[in-house]
Amino acid sequence: MPKLDLSAIAQTNRTGYPPPFDRPVQGRWYRRLAPASGLTAFGASHVVLKPGAWSSQRHWHAGEDEFLVMVSGEAVLVDEDGEQVLRAGDCAAFPMNDGNGHHLQNRSAQDCVFVVVSGGTNQGGDYPDIDMRFTADGGYVHDDGTPYEARRIP
Amino acid sequence: MPKLDLSAIAQTNRTGYPPPFDRPVQGRWYRRLAPASGLTAFGASHVVLKPGAWSSQRHWHAGEDEFLVMVSGEAVLVDEDGEQVLRAGDCAAFPMNDGNGHHLQNRSAQDCVFVVVSGGTNQGGDYPDIDMRFTADGGYVHDDGTPYEARRIP
């Protein structure tokens, strides 16, 4: 039936980020909902951020829209323009190719939970705070184009 | 900034449904979030169901995936297989062309709130409980193909 049994969907904190960029997302525990539920038109992930964890390195996508709904707890959304606190019921939108790197930080003492939807086509993007970009073929490169060995996790 | 100011986005209970099918959705108050926030890869709506209201007539889409996150309150999800109660944090997925008509009913005494995302291409679909289908060109027809005058609201 359509309601998802989240407890039956595998949860992982894997990341493709090379060190040391992987450290802030060690407390990011996510479930990929689309493959588990037959959705193909967009992706959807259920994410738990432990205290101190980040949702990702601050980034933007050249070809993918992202949209999130906060479910519980509290996170700080950081982008080029500053910070905004997100609480249960808040929504945030990240249009493709806006060049405005964003991420969430859980600065609270409790878990926070959000659901994020992603659609479009991977055309790469940038992490403006670090010497890394991501590419349309699923890799990571330095800002000068030299590749990292690490690969993104689909 | 990326956090949406929901109070600044127009809320409406408009429907294209012809009478009497419009009655159960009179208490469905929604905001279209994608045009308000620059998203183009998928649609997103913030929906408040007043007590007694339905999210729609029970339906399925031939070419569009739908995915929802319950934000607050309680709704009953009805599909071909029965009923499931949805509460804050619950997620539900409706893959395109599954032939499994679904909708939400607010049978509680309080408002319920959910966010629903939709992606793919409109190829029409069916309302299995009533003498109506919706078409790829944005119209409604009887099950025998005779058109209704009413048109869907994009």
Query: Per-residue pLDDT tens for B108-153?
Result: 999 999 999 999 999 999 999 999 999 999 999 999 999 999 999 8
Q: Which residues of chain A neighbour B79 with C-beta distances below 8 Å?
A: 1-2
CA of A86: which chain B residue's CA is closest? B3
For the cut 90, the answer to whether the pLDDT of residue B45 exceeds it is yes
pLDDT for B98-119, tens place per residue? Answer: 999 999 999 999 999 999 999 9
Predicted confidence at residue A154, as pLDDT, reads: 77
Strand-pair partners of A151: A139
Task: Please name the member of B37, B65, B92 whose beta carbon is closest to the beta carbon of A3.
Answer: B92
Confidence at residue A91, expressed as pLDDT on a 0 to 100 scale: 98
Q: If DSSP states are collapsed to H, E and C, what string results for B17-60?
A: CCCCCCHHHCCEEEEEHHHHHCCCCCEEEEEEECCCCECCCCEE
Residues in chain A within 8 Å Cβ distance of B84? 1-3
Query: Taking CB atoms and an 8 Å cutoff, what residues of chain A touch B77?
Result: 1-3
Q: CB within 8 A of B8, min separation 6: which ones?
A: none
Beta strand ranges found along chain B (DSSP E): 28-32, 43-49, 60-61, 64-72, 74-79, 82-87, 91-94, 103-105, 112-120, 125-127, 132-134, 139-141, 147-151
Nearest CA in chain A to B68: A3
Asked if A86 and A106 touch (Cβ cutoff 8 Å), the reply is no
What pLDDT is recorded for position B139?
Answer: 96
Q: Which residues on chain A are in Cβ contact (under 8 Å) with B6?
A: 91
The predicted structure's pLDDT at residue B153 = 87
Interface mutation target, options B6, B48, B58, B91, chain A, most CBs of A under 10 Å: B91
Helix-strand-coil split of chain A, %, nearest 5? 5, 45, 50
Q: Where are the alpha helices (DSSP H) in A30-86?
A: 34-37
> For residue B19, with 0-12 CB atoms within 10 Å meaning exposed, 13-18 middle and 19 or more buried, which class applies?
exposed
Side chain identity, residue B37: S
CA-based torsion, B106, B111, B114, B120: positive or negative: positive
Q: Do B90 and A3 touch (CB under 8 A)?
A: yes
Full-model pTM: 0.97
The residue of chain B with its CA nearest to that of A82 is B1
Among left, alpha and beta (phi > 0; psi -120 to 50; other), residue B143 is: alpha
- B81: nearest CA in chain A? A1
DSSP letter string, A99-116: ---BEEE--SSS-EEEEE
Q: Looking at the partner chain, which of B4, B67, B77 has a beta carbon nearest the beta carbon of A93?
A: B4
B36 backbone dihedrals φ, ψ, rounded to 5° = -75, -15
Is A84 in Cβ contact with B3 (below 8 Å)? Answer: yes
Alpha carbons A20 and B113: distance in angstroms, whole number: 40
Contact present, B63 and B57 (Cβ < 8 Å): no
CB-CB under 8 Å, B4 with A90: yes
Under an 8 Å CB criterion, which residues of A touch B?
1-4, 6, 33-34, 37-42, 44, 46, 64-65, 67, 69, 71-72, 77, 79, 81-82, 84, 86, 88-96, 98, 100, 102, 113, 115, 117, 119-120
From the list A39, A89, A95, the residue facing B67 with the nearest CB is A39
Provide the ipTM.
0.95
What is the pLDDT at residue A153? 87
Span A41-90, pLDDT tens digits: 999 999 999 999 999 999 999 999 999 999 999 999 999 999 999 999 99
Beta partners for residue A134, in sequence order:
A125, A140
Contacting residues of A for B113, CB less than 8 Å apart: 89
